[in-house]
Structure 1
Amino acid sequence: MTLPTLLTGVVPPVCTPLTPDREVDTASLVRLVDHLVRGGVNGLFVLGSTSEVAYLTDRQRALVLDTVVRHVGGQLPVLAGAIDMTTPRVLDHVRALAEAGADAAVVTAPFYTRTHPAEIARHFRLVASRSPVPVLAYDLPVSVHVKLSAELVLELAGEGVLAGLKDSSGAEGAFRSVVTGKRSLPRQFSVLTGSELTVDSALAMGADGVVPGLGNVDPEGYVRLHAAARAGDWERARAEQERLCGLFGMVRAGDPARMGGSSSALGAFKAALHLRGVIACPATAEPQIPLSRQETEAVGKHLAAAGLL
């Protein structure tokens, strides 16, 4: 399936189920994809932050992508992260994901290296010029330590370098600038929020869709939220958003004295999927710290409160 000119709706960043010995659990991954498709999502994003892409070997990345593309079979567009430090390494990933059948590449600014804004712009132009599939920018300053400016994003969108933006920056003013600025572009450009908590606000601004990690756990909830917003039923959208905000509290289940936020959040998503019977094992990749039994029970309480257990 080719990427729509304008990608819209709910595009969850798919978790990567692992076995106890930290190999990709393809059977659980297939069940997770089925769970998301039944939930009514509009696309799938693999090999992003929620997929634990930074922890996966190239072999594991390839296995995840091949499993999802083959199983989806063109029912939905599949976006794949080409996440790496520098342009040559990103281009290797782009070639691989295009050959595997992904419909678009999702690319961050370079990281580890210190970059100038001109070098970041050059990075995206080079990647797009050599990519067989459309390229979306992934604005993720918490991980790559640089914020993509609205001006740069709109400039690259206007040139046709970028087909869209996944904004996980949390900078709502800059996000709004992209949403309003895209109205003057000569071509379609998809603007997607990566926030689980302010989707109703983003859609009210004019965003095209959402890429919510929590959408792995409750895809139907985000689909209902998106539908309510598109129908202009903002009261129903706000109610659904507030229910999802309560459910999102599961990401704080892990004790911050013994684990980082990534261990807690990804561990909670996987614990929730395990408790819901979607994946066989809630393991996260090393060196993340697993949730304890008590912390997993706390995740279960959030599921029960949201009507999901």
Structure 2
Amino acid sequence: MEYLYGTGVALITPFNPDFSVDVNGLQRVVEHSINGGVDYLVVLGTTAETATLTDAEKTLVIKTVIKTNAGRLPLVLGVGGNNTMHVVDELKRIDLTEFVAILSVSPYYNKPTQEGIYQHFKAIAQASPKPIIVYNVPGRTGSNMLASTTVRLAQDFKNIVAIKEACGDMNQITEILKNKPSSFLVISGDDITALPTVLAGGAGVISVIGQGLPAPFSKMINLGLDKKVGEAYEIHHSLEEGMGLIFEEGNPAGIKAIFESLEICKAVVRLPLVEASANLKSKIGKFVKKLAKVSV
């Protein structure tokens, strides 16, 4: 699974002022990420505001990314939810030809037990024609997939090949790293813990800020994978302010403000999210300008 090492980015879905999908903006986001040196692209993750997209819009996003990418980078598709039967049905219907893997989030809102989480991913593993990255993000799902459950899934299903771990707890991350099968990959799901995870033995990150600032972020991760700790942390510290700012008023309002400051697309989001405040946009704009003056 070499193509899942390094920096993956969870692509946003740009919107026009009338809230329609901004196809040209999405093309520019993809080009910006590729030109900045990221290693793979994640389509229709949480950051894409997938929950607010119609089926037709999801298809439009998928086709746009595939066409723009033109085979240059591996693609991962988000296919998940809290209705196990529906996810299984989606996996049977969706054309996954252009994707190397799927990213599937632990069930949200229902708050299943650890056994429920295990059975959910067991059903997905049995249905998926592609390798699976399971996604643990307790801050959004309302339940934490424990390290023991992750390791159990990794041991029991060969096509569950990685976890995007966004628990924010390095103790949990190191427990997975210690007990996982050797081929199973641990991918950071938090920008702020990406470098510590890599240095502890992780494979990389699926990043939010990495699509807006791909060159320095990708360089940081590559330095971390090469165990060049001092150089990697130098970049980490230069990006740290931005990592905080983009989540100050929620995701993806913050990263879209970065793209607006770069004149790549508008900062429009769909309800129930609201656009970043003028104050936050100002702070993000100043951060981006300051970073541009620093050689990393």
Q: Is residue 278 of structure 2 the alignment partner of residue 278 of structure 1? A: no
Within 5 A, what are the aligned runs for 1:49-128? 49-99=46-96, 101-128=98-125
**How far off is 1:143 after superposition?**
1.4
1:268 aligns with 2:254: yes
1:31 to 28, 42, 47: 28
Q: How does 1:210-229 map to 2 (within 5 A)?
A: 210-229=205-224
* Aligned-partner SS, 1:170: coil
Structure 1: distance between partners of 2:279 and 2:210: 24
Runs of at least 5 residues in structure 1 that lack an aligned partner in the other structure: 254-260
One-letter code of the match for 1:228?
A: L
**Within 2, Cα distance between the matches of 1:282 and 1:242?**
25
- 2:2 and 2:195 map into 1 onto residues whose CA distance is 23
Q: CA deviation at 1:201?
A: 1.3
Give the direction of change, closer, same or farther, for the CA distance of 1:30–1:149 in structure 2 (3 Å limit): same
Q: Which residue of 2 aligns with 1:209?
A: 204
The aligned residue for residue 172 of structure 1 is 170
Aligned residue pairs total 293
**1:200·1:225 contact (CA, 8 Å) conserved in 2?**
yes
* Percent of residue pairs bearing the same amino acid type: 25
2:10 aligned residue: 13
After TM superposition, where is structure 1 displaced by more than 6 Å over at least 4 residues in a row? Answer: none
Give the Cα–Cα distance (whole angstroms) in 2 for the partners of residues 46 and 165 of structure 1.
Answer: 16
Q: 1:122 to 1:104 in 2, by over 3 A?
A: same
- Aligned-residue offset at 1:100: 6.0
Residue-by-residue CA offset, 1:70-116 (whole Å, 9 max, x unaligned): 32232211111113221112123333444463221111222333423
Which of 195, 198, 208 does residue 193 from structure 2 map onto?
198
How far residue 17 of structure 1 moved from its aligned partner, in angstroms, is 0.5
Secondary structure of the residue aligned to 2:281 is helix
**Which deviations, in whole Å up to 9, do the C-alpha atoms of 1:21-62 show, x marking residues without a partner?**
112111111111111011111101121121112222222222
Which of 266-275 and 89-98 deviates more?
Answer: 89-98
2:129 match: secondary structure: coil
CA 1:190/1:306 → structure 2, altered by over 3 Å: closer, same or farther? same
Match of 1:169, as an amino acid?
C
SS of 1:76's partner is: coil
Does the Cα contact within 8 Å between 2:209 and 2:246 map onto a contact in 1? no
Amino acid at match of 2:188: T
Structure 2, unmatched stretches of 5+, are none
Letter of the structure 2 residue corresponding to residue 134 of structure 1: P
d(CA) in 1 for partners of 2:197 and 2:109? Answer: 30
Distance 1:11-1:96 versus aligned 2 partners, 3 A rule:
farther
Provide TM-score, normalisation by structure 2.
0.92
Look up the SS of the partner of 1:62 in the other structure: helix
The CA distance in 2 between the partners of 1:97 and 1:229, in whole Å, is: 36
Q: Is the 8 A contact 2:9 2:38 kept in 1?
A: yes
Listed as ranges, the matches of 1:239-254 within 5 Å are: 239-251=234-246
Q: Which moved more, 1:192-201 or 1:287-296?
A: 287-296
Q: Distance in 1 between matches of 2:144 and 2:127?
A: 24
1:157 maps to which of 138, 154, 158: 154
Length-normalised TM-score, structure 1? 0.88
Q: 2:139: which partner in 1?
A: 142
SS in 2 for 1:11: strand
How far is the alpha carbon of 1:268 from its aligned partner?
2.1
- Pair 252,112 (structure 1): closer, same or farther in 2 beyond 3 Å: closer
Deviates more, 1:29-38 or 1:198-207: 198-207
Which residue of 2 is the match for residue 44 of structure 1? 41
